[in-house]
Amino acid sequence: MLKMTADELNEFLGAHFPDFEGPLAIVESVDDMIAELRLPYSSKHLRPGGTISGAALMTLADTAMYATLLAMIGPVAMAVTTSLNINFLRKPAAADVIAKTRLIKLGKRLAVGEVSLYSEGHPEMVAHATVTYSIPVN
């Protein structure tokens, strides 16, 4: 059962990460154990060669899993990443990046999930991440 909607997650992220220029990512949809987020294209995310940087992709993957977890457990700001492993599969286009997440395990203290990243308008995955979050004791 969802504890936060996409709108509530977007508001939460904006309030808890105010120093970012624009949103970390936009939560477009959430459902039971899954979510979809978007990193809007910006030239600030580009690296030499005109591709979206690995740092931007890792930030999106981490933010996407954080949002997916909070959708399930509620606004627990101190849930923290304990592990993030990412595989870069192909050169992302200079376009919005879409993150599709899935929580694989949601326990009392740990959550494990995966994030598939796509350049908007392209069917091939550009990166795949597995992420583990530690959930603080209430």
Exposure letters 14-28 (e unless 16+ CB within 10 A, then b):
eeeeeeeeebbbbbe
**Can you list the domains of the chain with their CATH numbers?**
6-134 (3.10.129.10)
* Residue with the two structure tokens 């954080």: 66
pLDDT the model gives residue 21? 66
pLDDT the model gives residue 22? 65
Instruction: Specify the pairing of strand 125-134 against strand 80-88.
Output: antiparallel
For 31, phi then psi, to 5°, come to: -150, -175
Predicted TM-score (pTM) above 0.85:
yes
- pLDDT by residue for the chain (138 residues), tens only, comes to 899 999 999 999 999 887 776 677 999 999 999 999 999 999 999 999 999 999 999 999 999 999 999 999 999 999 999 999 999 999 999 999 999 999 999 999 999 999 999 999 999 999 999 999 999 986
